[in-house]
Amino acid sequence: MSQNSYYDNYAFYDDNKVANGYDEKKVRTISNEAAVKITNVQLAYGKHQVLTGINMTVPAQSIYGLLGPSGCGKTSLLRCVVGIRRPDSGHISVYGRVPGHPDSGIPGPGLGYMPQEIALFLDFSIYETFKYFGRLYQMDVKQMSERTDELISLLNLPNKHKFIKNLSGGQKRRVSLAAALIHSPPLLILDEPTVGVDPVLRQSIWNHMEMLCRELGLTIIITTQYIEEARSADVVSFMRNGKLLMERNPIQLLTAMRLPSLESVFLKLCQLESVDDAIDDTVVIVDNNNKPNGSHLNQSFELTERPAVGEDVARNEKYVYHNDGQPVASNHQMAVQNRPQLLANKSRFSFIRRIGALNWKNITGIRRNLSMLIIQFLMPSFQCLLNFTCLGPDPYDLPVAVYNADRPAVMSDLFLRALNNGTFALTSYDSLEAALDQVRAGSAWAVISFAANYSRLMQSLAYEEVIESIPKIGVYLDTTNYVISNTIQKELYLTYNRTATVMAELAG
């Protein structure tokens, strides 16, 4: 059995039109041009097959509903359409160009995308939001101003100087939609724009989308988990487990399958898919010019050869339902030449203007929130002050016991004089044991001891044979305080290096 679709297979019978609310006064024909053409697309993540033989056609200047549960592959398919992900096999074209090609404008200004979440800057006004996205697309100032006024009027938005944070949920969604439309893209993708909204707002969004198709000539792809709301779409397709089960006009689909809702249609398609090879890959396609005959009046379906999924949508004229039922042109045919003109500009140095737009956005956000700017400047100073207050400055006048058995104490005294720089408070003792007792009693942090022949051996540095016999300076530390013990070790190492350097210079 073919992997393309099992169920592009139902005749559209005139005797069922009235029963399903099918009114020829409320239909129009869609364009023969395909805005998006997908042919036998396969995609896998590792060993997991995500898309299996997808064939899909999105007619130009129409609303295309991509329906299916979470995890069925809708997002992966759209990622391929916008050029973010390349399919493993198959072909995708958007207005005749492959997504990702430099001339396609996708991803980029050839596409408008409205995410499911409201990803707007709450501290920006409506005008500033449009200005930011307009600068990203390198629009002229005059174009941005005209387009802003046009979208505010078209989407019934409030005053353009009103802040996003003061808008209602419905107004925020319309601003998000306008941000995707600011550069007049020919293709608009809406990722579940009606999720979590009330029925009134949901219907309002659909009314706006129909208006965009009629007045601006956009092609809209909308994904949703709410199958029944897709009745207002021009074409709907059902996805399940990475397969496209069917794509049809929803009213024709309900008429053909004699079912009351799209939910019932989807359930029926899922049940038919499970039949596997029991169903032939055949289908009846009855155009609106065909006349029903007696064989069409029973409850069974005739099966003949089936074209690829979506092929008939682009090739044949199909009636398409609209809520208001008004024709968009005198001949009921939407002209492809009315497709919106892209307002974004292309330039070799476009990245410079985009960086400028990002800088403008950051500066505007900082000016809008001066309290945060003050906190950002004062916080480092406060942290330094807090650090010095809690930890204090570098340790000084640390009590250190010294036992010096060196005679004559020339080099050892040189070392001690170099060491006594304010960090240590040195106290000499007659024996090593007495000095260690000070550390044990907590009266000193360390003991420094010198051997009896320390100076004599240090003066013999010029002789290679005695270098290995130079005694080390004995150091005994109280390590109960990490900061102090680490400070003592550091100062001893630095002093030893300075002393050795002086001796080397004296030795020539």
What structural domains and CATH numbers belong to the chain?
A: 14-110+185-346 (3.40.50.300), 398-507 (3.40.1710.10)
Q: Which neighbouring-strand residues pair with 450? A: 404
d(CA 167, CA 90): 44
Which spans in 369-481 are helix H?
370-391, 410-419, 432-440, 454-458, 464-467
Chain-centroid distance, C-alpha 296: 51
Give the relative orientation of helices 350-368 and 370-391 as an angle to the nearest 10 degrees: 70
- The sign of the dihedral angle between the CA atoms of 253, 257, 258, 261 is negative
Q: Which of 16, 6, 29, 22 is nearest to 289 (CA)?
A: 29
Tell me the C-alpha to C-alpha distance, in Å, between residue 31 and each of 66, 99, 166, 314. Answer: 19, 22, 41, 8
What the block records as the tokens of 269 is 């398609």
- The sign of the dihedral angle between the CA atoms of 242, 245, 249, 251 is negative
User: Any idea how long the chain is?
Assistant: 508
Give the CA count within 13 Å in the CB-facing half-sphere of 33. 17
Q: Which of 212, 233, 241, 420 is nearest to 323 (CA)?
A: 233
Q: What pLDDT score was predicted for residue 463?
A: 52
Q: Which of 188, 182, 173 is nearest to 135 (CA)?
A: 182
Residuewise pLDDT in 10s, the chain (508 residues): 444 443 343 333 333 343 344 444 344 445 567 888 999 898 998 888 888 888 989 988 889 998 888 788 888 888 888 888 888 898 988 888 888 777 777 777 778 888 877 888 888 889 999 988 888 888 888 888 888 888 888 778 889 899 988 988 888 888 888 888 888 888 888 887 777 667 877 787 788 888 888 887 889 998 877 778 888 888 988 888 888 888 888 888 888 888 888 878 878 887 776 654 334 443 333 333 333 333 332 333 332 333 333 344 333 333 333 333 333 333 333 333 444 555 555 555 466 777 877 777 887 877 777 787 788 888 988 888 888 787 777 788 899 999 998 888 888 888 888 887 788 889 999 999 999 999 999 899 999 998 888 887 777 754 555 555 556 788 999 989 888 999 899 998 888 888 878 777 766 6
d(CA 450, CA 408): 12
- The sign of the dihedral angle between the CA atoms of 88, 91, 92, 93 is positive
The Cα angle at residue 81 between residues 235 and 2, in degrees rounded to 5? 65
Q: Which of 485, 480, 495 is nearest to 421 (CA)?
A: 495
| Residues 6+ positions from 339 with CB-CB distance below 8 Å | 60, 61, 186, 217
> What single DSSP character describes residue 305?
B
d(CA 438, CA 446): 9
Strand ranges inside 455-495, DSSP E: 474-477
| Residues 6+ positions from 383 with CB-CB distance below 8 Å | none
Are 44 and 345 in contact by the 8 Å Cβ rule? The answer is no
Q: What are phi and psi of 42, to 5 degrees?
A: -120, 140
CB-CB neighbours of 330 under 10 Å: 6
H helix or E strand, kind and range, residue 248: strand 243-248
Q: What are phi and psi of 38, to 5 degrees?
A: -120, 125
Greatest CA separation for the chain: 129
What the block records as the tokens of 1 is 């059995």
What the block records as the tokens of 413 is 């005294």
Q: Is 116 helix (H, G, I), strand (E, B) or coil?
A: coil
Q: Which of 304, 268, 265, 266 is nearest to 284 (CA)?
A: 304
d(CA 265, CA 368): 52
Output Rg (C-alpha) for the chain, integer angstroms: 40
d(CA 210, CA 253): 20
